[in-house]
Amino acid sequence: MKIFTHKLLIPVVLFALTVFSCRDLTDLNVNPNGVQPTTAHPNLVLSTVLTETGKAFVNLGYQDIAGVMQHTQKDGWSGGHNDYDWGGSQSWSSYYDILRNNQFVYNRSVELNFELHQGIALVMKSMVFGLITDLWGDAPYSQALKGAVGGTENTFPVYDTQEAIYTGILADLEKANTLLSKAKSAYNSTAESADVYYKGDPAKWRKLANSLALRYYMRLSLKKPDVAKAGIEKIIANATQYPIITASADDAAMPFAGNSDSDSWPANTTYDASESNYRRLKMSDTFVKALLAVSDPRLPVWANKVQIPLVVDATLPAGTDKIIDGKRYLSPDKVVGKDVNTDPNYVGLPTAIVGGASYNLSPTAEQAAKNPHVSWLNDIYKAAKGPLLKARLMSASEVNFILAEAAQKGWAAGDAKARYEAGVKASMETWGVASAYPAYIAQKAVAYNGTQQQIIEQKWMASWTAATEAWFDYRRTGFPVLKTGPSSKRKVLPVRFYYMLDERNLNKANSDVAIGRLELTPNSEADGKNSPWSKPWVLQGTGKPW
């Protein structure tokens, strides 16, 4: 029986070999356990687009750009955060990775006639390209994401002007508004399982599309005021056709899963046993003083009180330096010539100082990011996830502040005071202190005074953990008025990122053209035109921020 079986197998094997030898070998180069691009559902890639974009935004707004906008400072390893010593280290490669994945989502959605996914992909394309041009200026856009298709010009794409990129973004958002205008039940696809922002709700995505349009129209308000005014007024004049985010429940905010370091809040201590990344990041003196000046109820949500307050007591004998009942008492001679902050509750780290770890008389034994005399971030930022730990990409607070500024300019965007108050209130709701809003807004220093500066300063406060947008507002307005520190690389704040060295080497001809379009300033002469202190198109001729 066994002999018969083996004899029977011989022709079967020969037949199989004959059949497979006639097939194209490339047919075998298929991973049976993988996802095939030609058949994959867009949801399989959409989730990656959304989560990676959320991480990109929070990694900027909670990390180094929070240093630029003086929400935080670091007391070690602080060159990029405190001093703007970037040296061309930033790269847009991860952003273009997101855009390539997003382009797949869009292309597959067109093939499948998934209008919901097309609309979402256009919103995400606008958001990420908007971030790139805001950070660098001119960038590959019209020829990007195409590889070598159609010729080598796509391998080394031209840098579109910043003006052209903003124009393209606004056109895509207009298209997205139409694609997302149906009821959820009217679409032939669902993104609920993949959508970590809105659970596949087209109405919320549509609001995000139009809210982003408001952001970019305001970005153009100095360079193309007529376009900005017409665009914002068009949206506000027709709430049915152009719904926007007006309630914090509709914020574009991504929670963290907390299952691993890669899907957790950045600088959490759950996956960083040393806690170094958490401990190095301290509240900024600039931010703490601004919040204390208006008794801001969000400060305790964002920061811890100092562990050991300093008390300088003139009645103490010379040479006194001792801790009693949790306070460190010092005689005046112990603080002569030293920068000392004796606030009993909150103490921030000054901007770009030398020796941040020893600031405010931190004892030698407590250095290395363990200073007990400055305010650390709230303990919630140690966690991998939590109800307040979100990547915040667009909010009702931001939208209302945009409209308050538009109305303050005299544009038809509603009542400036009402919009301003709505912006403040939405932020209070976001951070769980809504009950404190009436008392807060009643303060003379907070009550609306009709100025752009007040609107932008409150918007800056509300941008905690999302400081990148505050930076773009600062560049456009010069507010809040921020001063650099003794270790800062220049005497003024930067306004863009360097074009990175690998891009300048690989795509030299096109990057050189883009660099040539930057405006050299007295602050960028030491670097040449490719400098964080050279002005991109959106700032040229505006006199802002310096």
Closest among 239, 238, 213 to 228, alpha carbons compared: 213
Q: Is the model's pLDDT at 532 over the cut of 60?
A: yes
Contact 359, 75 (CB under 8 A): yes
Residue 32: what pLDDT? 56
Q: What DSSP designation does 376 have?
A: B
The pairing of beta strand 327-330 with beta strand 310-312? parallel
Measured between alpha carbons, how far is residue 230 from residues 167, 214, 412, 430 in Å? 14, 11, 9, 30
Strands (E), 390-544: 390-394
Closest among 405, 413, 492 to 454, alpha carbons compared: 405
Q: Is the model's pLDDT at 453 over the cut of 60?
A: yes
331 CB neighbour count, 10 Å cutoff: 18
* Percentage with pLDDT > 70 across the chain: 91
Interhelix angle 115-136/93-112, nearest 10 degrees = 160
Task: Give the number of C-alpha atoms closer than 13 A to the C-alpha of residue 279, restricted to the C-beta side.
Answer: 15
Domain spans in the chain, listed from the N-terminal domain onward: 91-244+498-517, 280-379
Give pLDDT tens digits for 147-157. Answer: 655 545 578 99
Contact 118, 179 (CB under 8 A): yes
d(CA 227, CA 58): 30
Closest among 115, 228, 216 to 173, alpha carbons compared: 216
Please provide the DSSP assignment of 79-124 as one string: HHHHS---TT----HHHHHHHHHHHHHHHHHHHHT-HHHHHHHHHH
3-state secondary structure of 261: helix
Least confident of 14-18, 79-83, 456-460: 14-18
Give pLDDT tens digits for 113-163. Answer: 999 999 999 999 999 999 999 999 999 999 999 865 554 557 899 999 999
Confidence class for position 3, pLDDT limits 50, 70, 90: very low
- 104-116 mean pLDDT: 98
Give strand pairing partners of 349.
284
Least confident of 7-16, 339-348, 362-371, 454-463: 7-16
Give pLDDT tens digits for 317-341. Answer: 999 999 999 999 999 999 999 999 9
Q: What DSSP designation does 453 have?
A: H
**What residue type is assigned to position 485 of the chain?**
G
d(CA 266, CA 382): 9
Residue 30: what pLDDT? 56
Confidence class for position 18, pLDDT limits 50, 70, 90: very low
Residue 368: what pLDDT? 55
CATH of domain 91-244+498-517: 1.25.40.390
Residue 33: what pLDDT? 54
Contact 245, 431 (CB under 8 A): no
- 464-478 mean pLDDT: 98
Q: What is the largest CA-CA distance in the chain?
A: 109
Confidence class for position 37, pLDDT limits 50, 70, 90: confident
Does the pTM surpass 0.85? The reply is yes
Average pLDDT along the chain: 92
* Percentage with pLDDT > 90 across the chain: 87
Residue 363: what pLDDT? 86
3-state secondary structure string across 1-66: CHHHHHHHHHHHHHHHHHHHHCCCHHHHCCCCCCCCCCCCCCHHHHHHHHHHHHHHHHHHHHHHHH
Q: Is the model's pLDDT at 19 over the cut of 80?
A: no
Please confirm whether the linkage preceding 266 is cis (ω < 30° from 0): no
The pairing of beta strand 390-394 with beta strand 252-255? antiparallel
Residue 513: what pLDDT? 98
Q: Is the model's pLDDT at 5 over the cut of 80?
A: no
284 CB neighbour count, 10 Å cutoff: 24
Residue 154: what pLDDT? 72
d(CA 491, CA 248): 37
Closest among 472, 467, 494 to 83, alpha carbons compared: 494
Torsion sign over Cα 354, 360, 361, 364? negative
Tokens of 214: 């408001």
Contact 257, 385 (CB under 8 A): yes
Tokens of 409: 């300019």
3-state secondary structure of 323: strand
Residue 29: what pLDDT? 54
Give strand pairing partners of 535.
519
Confidence class for position 36, pLDDT limits 50, 70, 90: confident
- 491-511 mean pLDDT: 95
